[in-house]
Amino acid sequence: MPEGKSNQAFVEFERVQKSYDGETLVVKDLNLSIGRGEFLTMLGPSGSGKTTCLMMLAGFETATHGEIRLDGAEINDIPPHKRGIGMVFQNYALFPHMTVAENLAFPLEVRKIGKSEREEKIKRALDMVQMGDFGGRRPAQLSGGQQQRIALARALVFEPELVLMDEPLGALDKQLRETLQFEITRLAHDLGITVVYVTHDQTEALTMSDRVAVFDDGRIQQLASPDALYEQPQNSFVAQFIGENNTLLGKVVSLENGRCVVRLDASGEEIDAVPVNVNKVGDRTLVSIRPERVEFDPDWGERALTLDAEVLEFIYMGDVFRTRLKVAGRDDFIVKTRNRADQTRLKPGQKVKIGWLPEDCRALDP
């Protein structure tokens, strides 16, 4: 929850389910509270249920079961145009026969706002997205990035308290996407609006959000701040889906005092880990280690775990070096190291020692 925001839920899903055929649930028993002024991202692969949740909140889909509330009032039976929610889609959804100003005027006319006030709001919204001089143009005369700014201005022009965004930057190139990520986040916080944002792009989710709900198979797998999701994944799906991740399979051979020892399947070596999704000795587990937490020839004394490895690939990526290694029977183990002047360039076939601290290694579900 961002600092200074109210703890009271502004958007609530209570035991919400959705089925299209009466049998298969695409959203399963969703309980979710979003605070006023919060930027919450629903992140997940295609078919995970995130877009369906957004469409139920917008009113374009009806929940099969459960309640959706906005500012304490149930909205299940309220049509989309009466919910007062701003929407931004990936395909811009601008009217091609209207000018930019006419596109922005439309939601104001629907709300019976007078001409002079309309003009004032349109000017303010266009200035917000740095498109003040484009009111007389038509969408076809604008680039993709400019069209998306206009779509954003149209969602904000009637000053909604809640804005929903469905993959709004998906069609844009990388540099423009990053610029608009920053601008959308800044606008949301400056205006104090609540944003529910849907994406399958994890970088977008991590850089823009106050909290992220990771969806898979119609359920929220984890709901947390971006840094907690990345540093403390609660299951193997989240660990694999968010960022790059190394995994090794094994069995728990001891479990006490918030630590466990895992015997690796491939090599028989034993490593220390934080037990997250294991309950008892004998449990199968997948241990997870982020590539940037691994070091070559670590000098941490007894605290470090070290394993033998063989270099398979050494890739220069500008700010980092990415080394692919063979470790404990796996040939897809990645180490990321910062590009420093004293960095030794490793060669394929070279034997090295790698290590990490036990607190950076998490024992998850197999």
Confidence of residue 3 (pLDDT cuts 50, 70, 90): very low
Q: Are residues 232 and 250 in the same domain?
A: no
Q: Which of 172, 141, 137, 170 is nearest to 46 (CA)?
A: 170
Q: Are residues 228 and 286 in the same domain?
A: no
Average pLDDT over residues 273-298: 93
The reply to whether the predicted model has a pTM over 0.85 is yes
The set of residues, in sequence order, having a beta carbon less than 8 Å from that of 274 and lying 6+ positions away, is: 258, 259, 260, 358, 359, 361, 362, 363
DSSP code of 33? E
pLDDT of residue 172: 80
Q: Which of 128, 222, 232 is nearest to 180 (CA)?
A: 128
Per the prediction, the chain carries an average pLDDT of 91
Query: Among 212, 236, 260, which residue terminates a domain?
Result: 236
* Size of the chain in residues: 366
Which range, 150-154, 209-213, 341-345, has the best average confidence (pLDDT)? Answer: 209-213
The identity of residue 298, as a single letter, is P
Residue 22 covered by a domain: yes
Q: Using CA atoms, how far apart are residues 292 and 245, in angstroms rounded to an integer?
A: 9
Q: At residue 366, does pLDDT exceed 90?
A: no
Residue 4 covered by a domain: no
Instruction: CATH number of the domain at 288, please.
Output: 2.40.50.140
Summarised one tens digit per residue, pLDDT across range 58-74 is 999 999 999 999 999 99
Q: At residue 4, does pLDDT exceed 50?
A: no
Confidence of residue 174 (pLDDT cuts 50, 70, 90): confident
DSSP string across 134-185: -TT--GGGS-HHHHHHHHHHHHHTT--SEEEEESTTTTS-HHHHHHHHHHHH
Query: Among 213, 236, 259, which residue terminates a domain?
Result: 236
Instruction: CATH number of the domain at 105, please.
Output: 3.40.50.300
Percent of the chain past pLDDT 90, that is, above it, reads 67
Confidence of residue 304 (pLDDT cuts 50, 70, 90): low
How many separate domains does the chain show?
A: 2
Q: Are residues 264 and 225 in the same domain?
A: no
Q: In the structure encoding, which two tokens stand for residue 226, read together?
A: 């971006």
Q: Are residues 159 and 258 in the same domain?
A: no
Q: Which of 333, 257, 323 is nearest to 288 (CA)?
A: 333
Q: Are residues 135 and 250 in the same domain?
A: no
Q: Are residues 202 and 341 in the same domain?
A: no
The set of residues, in sequence order, having a beta carbon less than 8 Å from that of 358 and lying 6+ positions away, is: 259, 271, 272, 273, 274, 303, 305
DSSP string across 50-118: HHHHHHHHHTSS--SEEEEEETTEE-TTS-GGGS-EEEEETT----TTS-HHHHHHHHHHHTT--HHHH
Q: Using CA atoms, how far apart are residues 304 and 357, in angstroms rounded to an integer?
A: 5
Residue 2 covered by a domain: no
Q: In the structure encoding, which two tokens stand for residue 253, read together?
A: 């051979």
Q: At residue 152, does pLDDT exceed 60?
A: yes
Residue 3 covered by a domain: no
**More confident call, 101 vs 93:** 101
Residue 279 covered by a domain: yes
Q: At residue 204, does pLDDT exceed 80?
A: yes
Confidence of residue 302 (pLDDT cuts 50, 70, 90): low
Query: Among 188, 205, 236, which residue terminates a domain?
Result: 236
Q: In the structure encoding, which two tokens stand for residue 294, read together?
A: 């691994």
pLDDT of residue 6: 47
Summarised one tens digit per residue, pLDDT across range 338-356 is 988 777 788 999 999 999 9
pLDDT of residue 175: 85
Confidence of residue 7 (pLDDT cuts 50, 70, 90): low
DSSP code of 210? S
3-state secondary structure (DSSP) of residue 196: strand
Q: At residue 301, does pLDDT exceed 70?
A: no
**More confident call, 343 vs 191:** 191
Q: In the structure encoding, which two tokens stand for residue 23, read together?
A: 């049998």
Average pLDDT over residues 116-128: 90
Q: Using CA atoms, how far apart are residues 170 and 221, in angstroms rounded to an integer?
A: 23
Residue 308 covered by a domain: yes
Residue 312 covered by a domain: yes
Supply the range of the domain harboring residue 36: 9-236
